A and B are shown apart, each in its own frame.
Chain A
Amino acid sequence: QKEVEQDPGPLSVPEGAIVSLNCTYSNSAFQYFMWYRQYSRKGPELLMYTYSSGNKEDGRFTAQVDKSSKYISLFIRDSQPSDSATYLCAMLTGGFKTIFGAGTRLFVKA
């Protein structure tokens, strides 16, 4: 079993839709949770960072962490074609080794 599972998609939605992206994990020691956005042929860019459980909101993006279920989510409201990218979840216990999901490809159609 992989430490972090993420549906690769692709996920295709119409412009303006609410997008839900998810990851599950197996290591209960994970404390730090991140979401990265990666455009084609570019390096990932950090979108959201959450410590432990709870919600965090930044503009159209909301990150949720449910440690009891070992489940994290990223919600995108009012999705735009410019949101079309691959979204990577990432997590770590502390230290230096971040574990990344394989990424979900998202297409937002105009």
Chain B
Amino acid sequence: SQTIHQWPATLVQPVGSPLSLECTVEGTSNPNLYWYRQAAGRGLQLLFYSVGIGQISSEVPQNLSASRPQDRQFILSSKKLLLSDSGFYLCAWSPGGMETQYFGPGTRLLVL
């Protein structure tokens, strides 16, 4: 069966510091991968998606970036965090050509 991992689970970072969140998927190959941010009381905001290694599409211009160095690894990064980057970050995967997405446990980020 497929499993998706995210780490860290919780992160507290000062404004202006860098960020690296990691997501890995097991039990499948060539998945579509997604990064979302969920703010309190709001829906999921799609940040990035990837259909293959090195292929990244950005949905929202911001100070975040994403990379996919391996087939089942997706990384969310920032060079300098802003207060507004605080939130719950979710990684998801879907089988290629399928609409349903499966989410990881999430990373709670607090920028102070």
Given contacts A97-B46, A97-B59, contact A8 B99 (CB under 8 A): no
> Size band of the B side of the interface?
20 to 34
A-B contact pairs, 18 of them (CB 8 A): A41-B106, A42-B105, A43-B90, A43-B106, A44-B44, A44-B90, A44-B103, A49-B99, A92-B99, A94-B99, A96-B32, A96-B34, A96-B51, A98-B46, A98-B101, A101-B43, A102-B41, A102-B42
A107 touches B (CB below 8 Å): no
A19 touches B (CB below 8 Å): no
Q: Are A45 and B103 in contact (CB under 8 A)?
A: yes
A8 to B42, CA, bound (A): 9
**Number of A-B residue pairs with CB-CB distance less than 8 Å in the complex they form:** 52
A residues less than 8 Å from B99 (CB atoms): 32, 34, 49, 92, 94, 98
User: Contact residues of A with B, CB < 8 Å?
Assistant: 4, 6, 8, 32, 34, 36, 41-46, 49, 88, 92, 94, 96-103
Bitwise, B35-49 to A at CB < 8 A (1) or not (0) is: 000000111101001
**Chain A interface mostly helix, strand, loop or mixed?**
loop
Q: Are B100 and A46 in contact (CB under 8 A)?
A: yes
